[in-house]
Structures are given as C-alpha cells and as structure tokens.
C-alpha cells in the first residue's frame, strides 16, 4: 500500500507517520479530504503537518486506557464527559487529535454539546495518547492548555501535568492522587492480553467496588 496525500484523497499505510511542510489552509484541506472519517490522524504545528495511520493495537490500547479511567471515575461516583475521535483546533496556531479526552473538573461545560469552541470553551481536563510510532509528545498540547496528558508506550504510562506553562512528569495524576496508575495499567493490560479486555475491566471494577 502506497501513501496518497492530495486535496481530494489522503491515505497512508497503517503504522506510518508522514511529516510534510504546510500551511493552516493545507491542514484544513487534508482534514476535509477524509470526509467523515478520522483516519489518518492529522496534526498541525505552524509550518508543519504530521499524518499518522494507527494500527489496530493503537485503538485497542486507547480503549483499554479509556475504560480504566471510566472505571476509576465511576468507582468514585464522579461525573465526566468523554470524547473520541475529537479534533482540537486553534486557527493558524495548531490542530491535534488525541486518542481519547475527558472532561472531569469541567464536565458540565461539555454536557450535550455537539461542537466545542476551543477559543471560548475550556479544554479537556485529560487527554490520552497511545505512542506506538513516536508521533506524540506532551508538549504538543501546550497551545491548548490541557491540564494533564497521559502518554502510553508499550503499555507503560507517563503522566504529564501542566504547571507554570510547561509539562512536568509526575508519578501520580492530579485527578487520581491516591492511586498508582502505573500498577493499575500494567495489571489491566496483562489480564487483557491473557484473558481478554472484558475480563480485565470487570476484574478492575470488582477490585474497586
């Protein structure tokens, strides 16, 4: 399968990352060439466009991590809103598509909304990225002021918290300060690989009940 990148069609092989020079208008044209689809993922930095076509493993791991977050929030009777796929854009400044995002502290700002105005509405409180192809860095989310970014590579987690206009690597999440998320994720991924995702998530829910 060959990569095709044009105003009318954008298609790249799974697991591939393509970096090309481009303007904001070039980025918008490529986004529109996907019609209603969400693949490839497209990221815009000033003067640069990155495209990534995820592999099945990517989506599987993103869903597992999102399920973990939902179970943790449910176990604490906390409200939230979650989205995927979603495109976060600041015109001319940047565009990015996290694997999953959660509104936790600001969940009421996202309730029932079909569209979010990123220049007015608050950003998601938490975004999740599965880094299979070294496509993502926490710093990519600085323009959008995302309070917390979780990066997963080979099922191992890195938690980045926004402090003083920069991301700092932390051992605990501000949203789950009393939980060892690294240990939870390792356990869930291990069980999911051995006995299936459904079993892994059910057992996590039982442990927290």
Estimate the crossing angle of helix 181-195 against helix 197-208, to 10 degrees: 140
pLDDT at 10: 73
Model pLDDT, residue 15? 75
pLDDT for the residue numbered 146 = 96
Q: What is the pTM of this model?
A: 0.89
Tell me the domain boundaries of the chain: 1-53, 55-208
- Select from 109, 108, 106, 94 the least CA-distant residue to 139: 94
- State the CB neighbour count (10 A cutoff) for residue 94: 20
CA–CA separation, 203 and 175 (whole Å): 22
CA dist., res. 45 & res. 40, Å (int)? 16
Question: Do 70 and 82 meet the contact criterion of CB atoms below 8 Å apart?
Answer: yes
Round to the nearest angstrom and report the end-to-end CA distance of the chain.
Answer: 47
Q: Please list the pLDDT of the chain residue by residue as tens digits (209 residues).
A: 556 676 667 777 777 788 899 999 999 998 888 876 677 889 999 999 999 887 777 888 999 999 999 999 999 999 999 998 889 999 999 999 999 999 999 999 999 888 888 889 999 999 999 886 656 789 999 999 999 999 988 778 899 999 999 999 999 999 999 999 999 999 999 999 999 999 999 999 999 98
Q: Any idea which residue has 């993922």 for tokens?
A: 41
The 8-class DSSP code of residue 41 comes to E
Q: Determine the 3-state secondary structure of 127 from DSSP.
A: strand
Residues in the chain: 209
Structure tokens given for 81 = 């809103």
- Residue 201: which of 69, 55, 58, 59 has the closest Cα? 69
The answer to whether 103 and 110 are in contact (CB under 8 A) is: yes
Q: Which CATH number fits domain 55-208: 3.30.750, 1.10.3470, 3.90.1570, 1.25.40?
A: 3.90.1570
* Cα-trace Rg, the chain: 17
Q: Does residue 51 contact residue 10 with C-beta atoms inside 8 Å?
A: yes
Distances (CA, A) of 146 to 60, 104, 163: 23, 12, 10
pLDDT value of residue 55: 74
pLDDT of residue 6: 67
């Amino acid at each position: 399968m060959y990569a095709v990148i044009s105003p009318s069609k954008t298609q790249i092989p799974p697991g591939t990352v393509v970096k090309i020079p481009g303007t904001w208008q070039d980025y918008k044209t490529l986004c529109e060439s996907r019609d209603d689809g969400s693949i490839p993922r497209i990221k815009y930095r000033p003067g640069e466009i990155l495209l990534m076509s995820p592999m099945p493993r990517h989506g599987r791991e993103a869903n597992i991590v999102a399920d973990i977050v939902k179970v943790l929030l449910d176990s604490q009777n906390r409200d939230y809103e979650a989205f995927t796929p979603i495109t976060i854009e600041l015109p001319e400044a940047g565009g990015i598509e996290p694997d999953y995002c959660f509104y936790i502290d600001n969940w009421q700002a996202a309730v029932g909304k079909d569209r979010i105005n990123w220049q007015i509405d608050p950003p998601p409180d938490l975004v999740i990225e599965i880094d299979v192809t070294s496509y993502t860095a926490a710093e990519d989310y600085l323009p959008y002021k995302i309070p917390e970014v979780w990066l997963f590579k080979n099922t191992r987690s890195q938690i980045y918290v926004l402090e003083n206009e920069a991301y700092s690597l932390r051992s605990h999440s501000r949203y789950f300060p009393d939980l060892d998320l690294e240990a939870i994720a390792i356990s869930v991924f291990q069980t999911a690989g051995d006995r299936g995702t459904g079993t892994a998530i059910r057992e996590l829910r039982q442990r927290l009940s």
